Structure 1
Amino acid sequence: MWDKIEHNGQEVWVLPVTAYGPPVPETLWHYVGYVCRHGADAHLEGQSRRFQELVATFRSEEEAREAGYDEGRRIADQASAAKA
């Protein structure tokens, strides 16, 4: 399920995904996500910045989600710095 945080005036959306098929007790995880401004239509070109980590693996869904939030915050901070 997609989860969202707000950071630096932008929305950071993250979806943890299983690395190898359906979840089992020792499932490894990746994440996909995007950053957009409030009210943006993230499906339209230029209104969001997508990112993912499909190489590194995380030991839990929560660990993948937090790593995705960290990456989204970094992207949001870069966008804010570029506007300044």
Structure 2
Amino acid sequence: MAEGQERFDEYNGFTIRVLAIAEYSPHPPNIPFGYTGYVARPGADARYASAQRVSFAHPIADLLTAEAAEQAGFAEGRSIIDGMHPDGLNTEGL
């Protein structure tokens, strides 16, 4: 992962976007991470139209690496797509 770059993945006809966020920036080694992301249909202009995406975040920086934050973000995105998100987030209407 390149520091500060969002990552994309395709899953079951949706795009998942995740950005790992360090607790402090610039930061020394061993600073924990959180993440933010969204689920959208491929090609949707999700930057401006919130109706075209489902946003999610883990703002508490308790993940030990950027890679761990990305993996957790992609898992959360897949749970939204699969309709299994604990907070009831889903892709209905996208």
TM-score when normalising by structure 2: 0.79
Give the alignment's Cα RMSD to 1 decimal. Answer: 1.6
**Percentage of identical aligned residues:** 35
**Whole-angstrom CA distance in 2 between matches of 1:20 and 1:36:** 28
Report which of the two has the higher share of helix. 1
Q: Gapped runs of 5+ residues in structure 1?
A: none
Partner of 1:4: 8
- Ranges of 4+ aligned residues in structure 1 off by more than 6 Å: none
**Whole-angstrom CA distance in 2 between matches of 1:6 and 1:12:** 6
TM-score when normalising by structure 1: 0.88
- 2:56 pairs with 1:51: yes
Report which of the two has the higher share of strand. 1
Q: Between Structure 1 and Structure 2, how many residues are aligned?
A: 82
Q: Shift of residue 38 of structure 1?
A: 0.9
- 2:22 pairs with 1:18: yes
| Larger relative contact order, structure 1 or 2 (CA cutoff 8 Å, min sep 6) | 1
Matched position secondary structure for 1:73: helix
Q: Gapped runs of 5+ residues in structure 2?
A: 84-89
- 2:59 pairs with 1:72: no
Alpha-carbon deviations, 1:49-84, whole Å to 9, x = none? Answer: 10000125100000000000000000111146x58x
**Whole-angstrom CA distance in 1 between matches of 2:56 and 2:50:** 14
